[in-house]
Homo-oligomer: A and B are copies of this chain.
Amino acid sequence: MAKALERSIRERVPTLLTDLYQFTMAYAYWRSGRHNEPAVFELFFRDNPFGGGFSLFSGMHDCLLFLQSFRFTDEDVEYLRSVLPPATDPAFFLFLRELDCSGVTLHSVPEGTVVFARVPLMEVSGPLAVVQLLETSLLCLVNYASLVCSNAARFRLAAGSRRKLLEMGLRRAQGPDGGLTASRYTYVGGFDMTSNVQAGFLFGIPVAGTMAHSYVTSFSSLEEVWPQTLVAANGDHDNIDLISLTKGWLGRVCELLGAESGKIHEGELAAFLSYAIAYPHNFLPVIDSYSVTCSGLLNFCAVALSLFELEYSPLGVRLDSGDLCRQSVEVRHVFRLCSEQFSIPAFQSLLIVGTNNISEYSMAELNKKENEIDVVGVGTHLVTCTRQPSLGCVYKLVEVRGSPRMKFSEDPEKSTVPGRKAVYRMLDTEGHPFLDLLCLCEEPAPKACVAVRCHPVVGNKTCQSITPSQVSCLRLEVYTKGQITQPLCSTAETREKVQSSIQTLHPRHKRLQEPDSYIVAVSEKLHNLIAEIRKGSSNNSNFLLAN
């Protein structure tokens, strides 16, 4: 599978899938002989998404595969020759043709870690021209993966741990690869299953699904049911006529519920019977193609009772329109009545699946309103991240040739934090992280139970002193000298890591609405460096006097 993923990254992220200015800059560096100067870039985002208190870092594994496969083909180089200005020195294209990431080192937060705004998640160091060329691809791989994983984690928190969550957004995603990325990272973020078969194939995610409305509406009469018989699960009987059996049960169900048989849809019953005969162990129809209470639920109960009689275990029903909570309560009530009346204990606990434009808000409502929904399917709002469709990760230069770099910008919040850094996560006595500290690389690591002075990076807060109970180093070296240096986790392992990383978070940071903000701070030394650079910058034009 690792090989397949590597092949797939080359197809999905061709080396030309980047912004043109990466090449014009690379040329200008090369032209001035600066292309091999050691440089350091950092990747981070400026605000936690969805008005939340945290985010989840994802997409790093794809970045590693991308670094490993990074090369320009002859065809790539020919195309670049046609779009770069004619003045470009032909030797530059030979240089591109030879390029790879053997000189690049990547330090990164592990895939699936809880992270916060303004913490540099990745540090990419290596030859200036190469690490510049990587910008767009790395951003593209991290931005959406982290966003949709964070979105899924919020849906999971809103749903509680009991309910099963099914991702079904492929048709509404940003094209085919958008859909694949969505299925993968929503599973990592805490979903249980996907409808996307290719995602199951590539990433081993459990896949689920039974039928659409079109299946139901494609039937119009019982004459379309074929074969009409089923052998009991225990093998005792000969072929049983399932239509007759079910008609009998339908009469009893109508009687039990005092339902009019006049509104029951024959085509719907035919569809349910056909499906049950094809998949007697996996019977879970969608019951709202016509009317849940007047037709779908009655037809379901009749077919399910026949299946129980033949010693199969039907699975349940899906509701796809209307007020899901109210309907689920009604459906459960009918399940209980059938269970009691016909002495089938399992009938009362059949699954109720709800799918109808579920948002984070409506997911949270499920915990407030009475309902009996066991499995929730989510599509559009999950994969498109309606509430905030972009994480806004950026990639900023912080050091060249050992010297720190900083961008000031006309917008103060777009200024960057200069210098090569180490990032530490401070934990309190209960093991909850409470502050991420950015230090200069050369500073000694902060120690557990020793006070450290720091300056929050956001707001005008003054210096504070904090004493962590534990300190952990947030980033690892994951790629160097052309090699991936940490084992890649499977999708399922990363999913586990996500859940345990979220578990460490204090409830006040995990809250979906108006969480307390988590503090990200710089060390005293880094704070002083920023002040120094700001001062230096406003007084550096002696060069005009020299010649």
Contacts from A to B (Cβ < 8 Å): 11-14, 16-25, 27-29, 31-34, 37, 39, 41, 76, 79-80, 83, 85-88, 128, 132, 135-137, 139-141, 143-145, 148, 168, 170-182, 195-198, 200-201, 207-218, 220-222, 224-227, 244, 247, 250-251, 261-266, 269, 274-275, 277-282, 288-292, 320-323, 327, 380, 383-386, 389-393, 395-397, 400, 403, 405-411, 414, 537-541, 543-544, 547
Contact = CB atoms under 8 A, between A and B. Distances in A.
Contacts of A180: 17, 175
Given A327-B410, A541-B262, A197 B321 contact: no
Given A28-B215, A322-B410, 16 more contacts: A12-B177, A19-B196, A21-B211, A24-B275, A28-B274, A31-B227, A132-B212, A139-B172, A140-B170, A143-B173, A174-B177, A174-B178, A174-B182, A213-B396, A380-B389, A380-B392
Contacts of A400: 218, 220
A491 to B, nearest CB: 15
B322 A411 contact: yes
A106 to B, nearest CB: 17
Contact of A34 (B22, B213, B224, B385): B224
Contact of A321 (B11, B281, B383, B411): B411
Contacts of A265: 537, 540-541
23 contacts: A13-B176, A17-B180, A19-B168, A24-B209, A24-B211, A25-B215, A28-B215, A29-B215, A29-B218, A85-B282, A87-B281, A132-B215, A140-B176, A141-B175, A171-B393, A173-B178, A216-B407, A218-B400, A262-B539, A265-B537, A289-B409, A290-B407, A321-B409
A207 to B, nearest CB: 5
A22 B198 CA distance: 13
A543 B222 CA distance: 8
A303 to B, nearest CB: 13
| Max chain B C-beta neighbours (<10 A), residue from A145, A224, A390 | A390
B277 A541 contact: no
Contacts of A323: 410
A489 to B, nearest CB: 19
Nearest to A131: B214
A390 B359 CA distance: 13
